[in-house]
Structure 1
């Protein structure tokens, strides 16, 4: 019996650990982001500070200094919070949006946080962050909480909000585009992994199929000859009544079967050693070789052969399987009913079906192993059933009390 193996679902690949170069690149990117938004924020802060001085706002020096340091402090704090956008994107975007309403220094950091949030493509989170940005910006402009110091007129407020909304739309579009590209790359990578896994499973299945085929061929070809060798060798051991000529004939039979077994084993090993070699590259016996097969067993088993079939138009594949089926039936008969006569019938007509029948009487002690029995290889009738199913045939095994019968019906030809 061959052990059946149940294919297991492919194991998802483990999340790759960050290597030292990967961590270094991440740290480098974060430092570059912090430096970039810091420099951009400082530039905007300086420009805004210059505008506040040129505007000649009539604020007291104390109020001006307070707003100045508040802008600078919030800007530096916003720059420091930039790395958090990777871990809590919505919270970071909201905090920096509020900071941007009060600090020109914080605007680049807040825009970067919004871009990072948009890469996740969560509409609700993007809407919340955008609303917080617009509401806090409008409130700060109405209250005059910036370096210019004076509340904006309605027209100026509308223009400011329109420009801010346009700026936010650009940032969101950039973030969504980056997120879509990342999702596409991840999808392609996942698909490539699945394709690779499917290919591996197909290769494993092909290897398993090839192993099973080789094992079946080894059983079908070697078990027959080895069982003959074991039986004749046993005769040499237990038959004291053999004369010199009979003993020499048995020794010659053992020698011939051993040599033939070695040759077949070499052929099989040649297939194993040559990946990709087709089964058809190594000629296999067919029903045309049936007489030679029967000749190897008649010394130990009487075979009554009734063959009425013209193999010229028979499918080569069907003919090969039929030969192996007959070979296995003869081996089983010799193993389980040693010395009992075997009746073999092979019949069929062109365009019809090929019928094989193998019968042998069962001895009274059929369940008791004899010294002439070869070890059971483990395939036997299962191998016959596999070959019958391989060519869409039918198999009927009848183990009666006095006779064991195997009836096989195979199609005359099979579709390619």
Structure 2
């Protein structure tokens, strides 16, 4: 079960893997690299590596042309320079596996080979993308130190000595800065995805905990109700057993009570099927609220300073099942609590309508508050619990902005 949940929470990159670098993909989806020691190159990696290879070859060709136009260089030195440049271009394909090693090797190679200059720049950029700044600082510093010696040994015929040094130093600094920017952007993407993943997991866990707590509370309430029903059954069955000569009317009345109590007990049992039992029993002995307690709830809310309008249009309120009345009471109670927190000073309307066979409809509505309301703690866990209650009672609950503004909670509960 744990593996299934982990698989569900893991991000899915199907259809987009080709556009993500293999190193970044390995960080976002660790499962991708478990089949081997290193993640496979994606299509994007091949395109980028081939473009880097072509760029290094182009720079090498330009350097070879410069060498051929130079006079006074021995042919053996020119040939060795071109061989080193060709080998360096081939080493481009190793930049992802050994970015630090390639950059370190290319520092002295680019000093003695003009055709390997493009590979040195690409290796420095790769190092800035894939490794921390301390490695980049050492390699880039070494290359900057060698720049004046390089142009002293091989002066540029088209640029002055100082201008050549400044140009190459600026190019090196720009390469490092660009690579660090790419690295920070990737790290930001990883951080945002990780935060989103953790936020989704925490939200799911909070919702599951709220549902579990609601189930446990309902299980405690149903325990008290079932105990009351079974006690009635036991008392009236015992009376029939010990008074077989009782009048026919009393026997019929006792049988009716037994039948009605059995029916109510079965209804309560249907509600607690699948409900988790609480770890500790509730021994407080408090009477559970019913639909008749709505008047008291409205009076208490008014005494607390709220403007509450209670509308009850229920056919035969005394016949409402205890579990349905209790659920309706909890919905009205939570709706008034939310209105007091999120819309203080507004007039809240609590409407309860319905009858046997038609079901019971409970509506709690409040207009939008005037002015800004300071934020209060709460993340909708109460509404999650109400939805769980209504579902376990066989009904439904909807909540959201009302048509004319404000907020509305509407529940439909069965009454058969």
For normalisation by structure 1, the TM-score amounts to: 0.52
Maintained 8 Å contact 1:75/1:103: yes
Query: Are residues 265 and 42 of structure 1, via their aligned partners in 2, closer, same or farther at CA, if it must alter by over 3 Å?
Result: closer
With over 3 angstroms needed to count, the CA separation of the structure-2 counterparts of 1:313 and 1:169, relative to structure 1, is closer
Counterpart position of 1:45? 60
Give SS of 2:115's match: coil
| 1:236–1:247 Cα contact (<8 Å) kept | yes
1:106 is aligned to 2:116 = yes
Equivalent residue for 1:260? 264
Selected match of 2:189 from 185, 188, 201: 185
Aligned position for 1:172? 176
Matches within 5 A, 1:376-387: none
Alpha-carbon shift at residue 262 of structure 1 (Å) = 3.5
SS in 1 for 2:31: coil
Deviation at 1:204, TM superposition (A): 0.6
Corresponding residue for residue 352 of structure 2: none
Structure 1 Cα separation of the partners of residues 297 and 169 of structure 2: 86
Pair 1:183–1:288, CA change in 2 (3 A) = closer
Report Cα offsets for 1:243-268 as digits up to 9, x if no partner: 243655543332231133245556x4
SS at match of 1:86: coil
In the TM superposition, 1:6-405 aligns within 5 A as: 15-18=29-32, 26-55=41-70, 57-59=71-73, 63-64=74-75, 66-120=76-130, 122-144=132-154, 156-234=160-238, 236=240, 239=242, 242-245=244-247, 247-264=251-268, 268=271, 285=290, 315=300
Give 1:212 shift.
1.4
Checking the alignment, whether the CA contact within 8 Å between 1:134 and 1:161 is kept in structure 2 is no
- Number of residue pairs matched? 261
The structural deviation recorded for 1:287 is 7.3
CA-CA distance at 1:124 after TM superposition: 2.1
Query: In structure 1, what is the Cα distance between the partners aligned to 2:47 and 2:263?
Result: 77
Q: Distance in 1 between matches of 2:131 and 2:109?
A: 23
TM-superposition CA deviations, 1:157-181 (whole Å, max 9, x none): 4333221111111111211211121
Long gaps (5+) in structure 2: 1-5, 11-27, 276-287, 302-321, 323-416
What value does the CA root-mean-square deviation take over the aligned residues?
4.1
Where does structure 1 lack aligned partners over 5 or more consecutive residues?
1-9, 145-150, 273-282, 290-309, 317-326, 328-416
Higher RCO, Cα 8 Å, sep 6+: 1
Structure 1 residues 35 and 86: alpha-carbon distance in aligned structure 2, compared to 1, 3 A threshold: closer
Once residues 25 and 120 of structure 1 are traced to their aligned partners in structure 2, the CA distance between those partners, rounded to angstroms, is 16
Residues 312-360 of structure 1: CA distance to partner in whole angstroms, max 9, x if unpaired? 98649xxxxxxxxxx9xxxxxxxxxxxxxxxxxxxxxxxxxxxxxxxxx
Measure how far apart 1:152 and its partner are. Answer: 7.1
Q: Secondary structure of 1:105's partner?
A: helix
Q: CA deviation at 1:138?
A: 4.0
Q: Give the deviation of 1:121 after TM superposition.
A: 7.0
For 1:313 and 1:188, the matched residues in 2 are separated by: 46
Distance 1:312 1:189 in 2: 46
C-alpha change, 1:269 and 1:50, in structure 2 (3 Å) is same
Indicate if the aligned counterparts of 2:64 and 2:115 stay in contact, CA closer than 8 A: no
Q: Check whether the contact 1:114–1:172 (CA below 8 A) recurs between aligned residues.
A: yes
Task: For 2:141 and 2:297, locate their aligned partners in 1 and report how far apart those are by CA, in whole Å.
Answer: 86
**CA separation in 1, counterparts of 2:293 and 2:260?**
20
